[in-house]
Amino acid sequence: MMIKENPKDLVPTFFTNTSNSYDDIVHWTTFGKDSLWKHKILEQLSDQETVLDLACGTGILTKQLAEKLPQAKITGVDITKTYLEKAKKKLISYPNISFVNQDAEKLNLEKKFDCITTSYLPKYCTAKILIKNCIEHLNVDGKIILHDFTYPKNFFVQKMWNLYFKLLYFLGFFIPNWKNVFVDLPSLIRATNWVKEYEETMRDYGMTVHRQDLTWGTSAIIVGTKTA
Ligand SMILES: C[S@@+](CC[C@H](N)C(=O)[O-])C[C@H]1O[C@@H](n2cnc3c(N)ncnc32)[C@H](O)[C@@H]1O
Protein backbone atom coordinates (compact mmCIF):
# COMPACT_ATOMS: atom_id res chain seq x y z
CA MET A 1 0.00 0.00 0.00
CA MET A 2 2.70 2.42 -1.04
CA ILE A 3 1.84 5.87 -2.27
CA LYS A 4 4.12 6.96 -5.04
CA GLU A 5 6.00 10.16 -4.30
CA ASN A 6 3.84 12.21 -6.61
CA PRO A 7 0.09 11.38 -6.57
CA LYS A 8 -0.01 12.30 -10.24
CA ASP A 9 2.01 9.14 -10.97
CA LEU A 10 -1.07 7.15 -9.93
CA VAL A 11 -3.23 8.64 -12.70
CA PRO A 12 -2.15 6.27 -15.54
CA THR A 13 -2.29 3.29 -13.15
CA PHE A 14 -5.81 4.14 -12.02
CA PHE A 15 -7.39 5.31 -15.25
CA THR A 16 -5.86 3.68 -18.33
CA ASN A 17 -8.05 0.54 -18.23
CA THR A 18 -11.06 1.56 -16.17
CA SER A 19 -13.14 3.84 -18.39
CA ASN A 20 -15.71 1.20 -19.42
CA SER A 21 -16.80 0.39 -15.88
CA TYR A 22 -16.14 3.80 -14.25
CA ASP A 23 -19.76 5.05 -14.17
CA ASP A 24 -21.03 1.90 -12.41
CA ILE A 25 -18.07 1.65 -10.03
CA VAL A 26 -18.27 5.28 -8.88
CA HIS A 27 -22.02 4.92 -8.32
CA TRP A 28 -21.92 1.66 -6.37
CA THR A 29 -18.73 2.20 -4.39
CA THR A 30 -19.97 5.59 -3.10
CA PHE A 31 -23.44 4.11 -2.37
CA GLY A 32 -24.90 6.65 -4.79
CA LYS A 33 -23.35 9.57 -2.89
CA ASP A 34 -21.47 10.56 -6.05
CA SER A 35 -24.80 11.81 -7.47
CA LEU A 36 -25.53 13.79 -4.31
CA TRP A 37 -22.04 15.36 -4.36
CA LYS A 38 -22.40 16.32 -8.02
CA HIS A 39 -25.81 17.79 -7.21
CA LYS A 40 -24.08 19.98 -4.59
CA ILE A 41 -21.66 21.19 -7.29
CA LEU A 42 -24.58 22.00 -9.62
CA GLU A 43 -26.31 23.99 -6.84
CA GLN A 44 -23.44 26.50 -7.12
CA LEU A 45 -24.31 27.28 -10.76
CA SER A 46 -27.10 29.54 -11.99
CA ASP A 47 -26.67 31.52 -15.19
CA GLN A 48 -23.10 30.87 -16.35
CA GLU A 49 -22.58 31.03 -20.12
CA THR A 50 -19.31 29.12 -20.26
CA VAL A 51 -18.20 26.24 -18.02
CA LEU A 52 -14.96 24.26 -18.02
CA ASP A 53 -15.23 20.78 -16.47
CA LEU A 54 -11.66 19.76 -15.63
CA ALA A 55 -10.86 16.04 -15.43
CA CYS A 56 -14.28 15.40 -16.91
CA GLY A 57 -13.60 11.65 -17.13
CA THR A 58 -16.51 9.84 -18.79
CA GLY A 59 -18.57 13.04 -18.63
CA ILE A 60 -20.95 12.35 -15.73
CA LEU A 61 -20.77 15.92 -14.40
CA THR A 62 -20.27 17.41 -17.89
CA LYS A 63 -23.65 16.02 -18.96
CA GLN A 64 -25.37 17.36 -15.84
CA LEU A 65 -23.83 20.79 -16.45
CA ALA A 66 -25.11 20.81 -20.04
CA GLU A 67 -28.60 19.84 -18.85
CA LYS A 68 -28.70 22.45 -16.08
CA LEU A 69 -27.33 25.20 -18.39
CA PRO A 70 -28.68 24.33 -21.89
CA GLN A 71 -27.68 27.75 -23.28
CA ALA A 72 -24.12 27.51 -21.98
CA LYS A 73 -21.03 26.26 -23.81
CA ILE A 74 -19.45 23.44 -21.80
CA THR A 75 -15.86 22.26 -22.31
CA GLY A 76 -14.64 18.97 -20.85
CA VAL A 77 -10.88 18.42 -20.40
CA ASP A 78 -9.18 15.19 -19.42
CA ILE A 79 -5.66 13.78 -19.55
CA THR A 80 -6.75 10.15 -20.18
CA LYS A 81 -7.72 9.44 -23.77
CA THR A 82 -9.85 6.35 -23.00
CA TYR A 83 -12.01 8.35 -20.58
CA LEU A 84 -12.35 11.23 -23.00
CA GLU A 85 -13.36 8.88 -25.84
CA LYS A 86 -16.03 7.37 -23.61
CA ALA A 87 -17.35 10.86 -22.77
CA LYS A 88 -17.39 11.89 -26.44
CA LYS A 89 -19.40 8.78 -27.43
CA LYS A 90 -21.86 9.13 -24.54
CA LEU A 91 -22.49 12.84 -25.08
CA ILE A 92 -22.45 13.01 -28.87
CA SER A 93 -26.04 14.34 -28.89
CA TYR A 94 -25.14 17.42 -26.81
CA PRO A 95 -24.14 20.16 -29.28
CA ASN A 96 -23.14 22.53 -26.47
CA ILE A 97 -20.36 20.20 -25.16
CA SER A 98 -16.85 19.99 -26.60
CA PHE A 99 -13.86 18.01 -25.35
CA VAL A 100 -10.10 18.61 -25.18
CA ASN A 101 -7.34 16.16 -24.28
CA GLN A 102 -5.03 18.14 -21.97
CA ASP A 103 -3.24 17.96 -18.65
CA ALA A 104 -5.02 20.35 -16.26
CA GLU A 105 -1.61 21.32 -14.87
CA LYS A 106 -0.54 22.49 -18.33
CA LEU A 107 -3.87 23.96 -19.33
CA ASN A 108 -3.82 26.16 -22.41
CA LEU A 109 -7.23 26.75 -23.97
CA GLU A 110 -6.79 30.39 -24.97
CA LYS A 111 -10.18 31.36 -23.63
CA LYS A 112 -11.82 32.21 -20.32
CA PHE A 113 -14.83 30.69 -18.58
CA ASP A 114 -17.51 31.87 -16.14
CA CYS A 115 -17.04 28.76 -14.03
CA ILE A 116 -14.52 25.90 -13.67
CA THR A 117 -15.72 22.70 -12.03
CA THR A 118 -13.78 19.59 -11.13
CA SER A 119 -14.70 16.41 -9.31
CA TYR A 120 -12.00 14.04 -7.97
CA LEU A 121 -9.03 15.94 -9.48
CA PRO A 122 -7.55 18.09 -6.67
CA LYS A 123 -5.76 15.27 -4.81
CA TYR A 124 -3.72 14.36 -7.92
CA CYS A 125 -2.51 17.91 -8.56
CA THR A 126 -0.37 20.61 -6.97
CA ALA A 127 -2.65 23.39 -5.68
CA LYS A 128 -0.38 26.26 -6.73
CA ILE A 129 -0.12 24.98 -10.33
CA LEU A 130 -3.77 24.02 -10.79
CA ILE A 131 -5.18 27.22 -9.27
CA LYS A 132 -2.81 29.44 -11.28
CA ASN A 133 -4.01 27.72 -14.47
CA CYS A 134 -7.65 27.97 -13.44
CA ILE A 135 -7.38 31.68 -12.63
CA GLU A 136 -5.80 32.34 -16.02
CA HIS A 137 -8.86 30.67 -17.60
CA LEU A 138 -11.47 32.37 -15.40
CA ASN A 139 -13.49 35.57 -16.01
CA VAL A 140 -13.78 38.16 -13.24
CA ASP A 141 -16.58 37.14 -10.84
CA GLY A 142 -16.09 33.58 -12.08
CA LYS A 143 -16.10 30.58 -9.73
CA ILE A 144 -13.78 27.63 -9.26
CA ILE A 145 -15.63 24.67 -7.72
CA LEU A 146 -13.40 21.86 -6.48
CA HIS A 147 -14.72 18.55 -5.19
CA ASP A 148 -12.85 15.49 -3.93
CA PHE A 149 -12.73 12.80 -1.27
CA THR A 150 -11.55 13.65 2.25
CA TYR A 151 -10.51 11.44 5.16
CA PRO A 152 -13.20 11.80 7.84
CA LYS A 153 -12.15 13.37 11.16
CA ASN A 154 -14.72 11.65 13.39
CA PHE A 155 -13.21 8.59 15.11
CA PHE A 156 -16.16 6.26 14.48
CA VAL A 157 -16.59 7.36 10.87
CA GLN A 158 -12.87 6.76 10.37
CA LYS A 159 -13.23 3.18 11.68
CA MET A 160 -16.13 2.54 9.27
CA TRP A 161 -14.24 4.16 6.41
CA ASN A 162 -11.12 2.05 7.05
CA LEU A 163 -13.22 -1.11 7.26
CA TYR A 164 -15.02 -0.25 4.04
CA PHE A 165 -11.75 0.21 2.15
CA LYS A 166 -10.54 -3.16 3.52
CA LEU A 167 -13.65 -4.72 1.94
CA LEU A 168 -12.94 -2.91 -1.35
CA TYR A 169 -9.36 -4.20 -1.19
CA PHE A 170 -10.70 -7.79 -1.27
CA LEU A 171 -13.30 -6.90 -3.90
CA GLY A 172 -10.37 -5.82 -6.06
CA PHE A 173 -9.36 -9.49 -6.46
CA PHE A 174 -12.65 -10.04 -8.33
CA ILE A 175 -12.50 -6.81 -10.39
CA PRO A 176 -8.86 -6.83 -11.54
CA ASN A 177 -8.99 -3.54 -13.50
CA TRP A 178 -9.93 -1.75 -10.26
CA LYS A 179 -7.51 -3.53 -7.93
CA ASN A 180 -4.87 -0.77 -8.05
CA VAL A 181 -7.48 1.87 -7.27
CA PHE A 182 -8.92 -0.05 -4.33
CA VAL A 183 -5.42 -0.69 -2.94
CA ASP A 184 -3.86 2.78 -3.34
CA LEU A 185 -6.82 5.18 -3.12
CA PRO A 186 -7.32 4.99 0.69
CA SER A 187 -3.67 5.84 1.42
CA LEU A 188 -3.87 8.71 -1.05
CA ILE A 189 -7.01 10.11 0.60
CA ARG A 190 -5.47 9.75 4.09
CA ALA A 191 -2.30 11.51 2.98
CA THR A 192 -3.77 14.38 0.98
CA ASN A 193 -4.23 17.80 2.52
CA TRP A 194 -5.95 19.14 -0.59
CA VAL A 195 -8.70 21.16 1.13
CA LYS A 196 -6.28 23.28 3.18
CA GLU A 197 -3.79 23.65 0.33
CA TYR A 198 -6.37 24.78 -2.23
CA GLU A 199 -8.16 27.06 0.25
CA GLU A 200 -4.86 28.78 1.11
CA THR A 201 -3.82 29.06 -2.53
CA MET A 202 -7.14 30.56 -3.60
CA ARG A 203 -6.98 33.08 -0.73
CA ASP A 204 -3.39 33.97 -1.73
CA TYR A 205 -4.85 34.88 -5.15
CA GLY A 206 -7.37 37.17 -3.42
CA MET A 207 -10.34 34.90 -4.02
CA THR A 208 -13.22 34.63 -1.58
CA VAL A 209 -13.47 31.00 -0.54
CA HIS A 210 -16.08 28.85 1.15
CA ARG A 211 -16.10 25.18 2.00
CA GLN A 212 -18.79 22.53 2.41
CA ASP A 213 -18.05 19.21 4.13
CA LEU A 214 -20.24 16.40 2.83
CA THR A 215 -21.44 12.97 4.01
CA TRP A 216 -19.76 12.76 7.46
CA GLY A 217 -16.59 14.38 6.18
CA THR A 218 -15.94 11.80 3.44
CA SER A 219 -15.81 14.45 0.73
CA ALA A 220 -15.75 18.23 0.42
CA ILE A 221 -16.45 21.03 -1.99
CA ILE A 222 -14.60 24.32 -1.97
CA VAL A 223 -15.78 27.28 -4.01
CA GLY A 224 -13.53 30.21 -4.83
CA THR A 225 -14.75 33.39 -6.52
CA LYS A 226 -12.41 35.62 -8.52
CA THR A 227 -13.06 39.15 -7.38
CA ALA A 228 -10.67 41.09 -9.63
C1 LIG B 1 -12.11 9.64 -10.77
S2 LIG B 1 -12.11 10.31 -12.40
C3 LIG B 1 -13.35 11.56 -12.24
C4 LIG B 1 -14.06 11.86 -13.52
C5 LIG B 1 -15.18 12.88 -13.40
N6 LIG B 1 -14.70 14.17 -12.96
C7 LIG B 1 -16.27 12.40 -12.49
O8 LIG B 1 -16.47 13.01 -11.45
O9 LIG B 1 -16.92 11.42 -12.80
C10 LIG B 1 -10.64 11.25 -12.38
C11 LIG B 1 -10.27 11.80 -13.74
O12 LIG B 1 -9.23 12.73 -13.57
C13 LIG B 1 -8.44 12.70 -14.72
N14 LIG B 1 -7.18 13.38 -14.44
C15 LIG B 1 -6.29 13.08 -13.47
N16 LIG B 1 -5.26 13.95 -13.50
C17 LIG B 1 -5.53 14.83 -14.51
C18 LIG B 1 -4.86 15.98 -15.01
N19 LIG B 1 -3.68 16.38 -14.51
N20 LIG B 1 -5.41 16.65 -16.04
C21 LIG B 1 -6.60 16.26 -16.57
N22 LIG B 1 -7.27 15.18 -16.13
C23 LIG B 1 -6.76 14.48 -15.10
C24 LIG B 1 -8.33 11.22 -15.01
O25 LIG B 1 -7.91 10.97 -16.32
C26 LIG B 1 -9.77 10.77 -14.72
O27 LIG B 1 -10.54 10.79 -15.88
Which structural domains are found in the chain, ordered by start?
7-225 (3.40.50.150)
How high does pLDDT run on average in the chain? 96
Q: What is 149-162 written as a DSSP string?
A: E----SHHHHHHHH
Condensed to tens digits (0 to 9), the pLDDT of residues 37-95 reads: 999 999 999 999 999 999 999 999 999 999 999 999 999 999 999 999 999 999 999 99
Give the mean pLDDT of 174-195.
96
Task: Name the CA radius of gyration of the chain, rounded.
Answer: 17
The pLDDT-based confidence of 3 (bands split at 50, 70, 90) is low
Condensed to tens digits (0 to 9), the pLDDT of residues 90-114 reads: 999 999 999 999 999 999 999 999 9
Quote the CA–CA distance of 28 and 39 in Å, as a whole number: 17
Give the mean pLDDT of 128-153.
97
Alpha carbon nearest to ligand 1 atom 27, residue: 57
* 172 Cβ neighbours under 8 A, 6+ residues apart: 178, 179, 180, 181, 182, 183
The pocket around ligand 1, CB under 6 angstroms, is made up of 11, 15, 26, 55-57, 60-61, 77-80, 83, 103-105, 119-121, 124-125
pTM: 0.96
Give the mean pLDDT of 201-221.
97
Alpha carbon nearest to ligand 1 atom 17, residue: 79
Quote the CA–CA distance of 125 and 104 in Å, as a whole number: 8
Question: Per-residue pLDDT for 228 more than 80?
Answer: no
Give the mean pLDDT of 120-145.
97
How many Cα atoms occupy the beta-carbon half-sphere of 164 within 13 Å? 15
Give the Å distance between the CA of 101 and the centre of ligand 1.
Answer: 11
| Nearest atom within ligand 1 for CA of residue 121 | 12
The reported pLDDT for the residue numbered 4 is 52
The reported pLDDT for the residue numbered 1 is 45
The residue whose CB lies within 8 Å of the most ligand 1 atoms, and thus the one to mutate among 9, 10, 11, is: 11
- Cβ–Cβ under 8 Å, residues 222 and 41: no
215: nearest Cα among 162, 123, 152: 152
Give the mean pLDDT of 129-145.
97
Element (H, E) at 166: helix 155-171
Give the mean pLDDT of 1-17.
83
The reported pLDDT for the residue numbered 5 is 74
Give the mean pLDDT of 203-224.
97
- Cβ–Cβ under 8 Å, residues 122 and 198: yes
Quote the CA–CA distance of 16 and 11 in Å, as a whole number: 8
Question: Per-residue pLDDT for 223 more than 60?
Answer: yes
| Nearest atom within ligand 1 for CA of residue 104 | 20
Quote the CA–CA distance of 73 and 52 in Å, as a whole number: 9
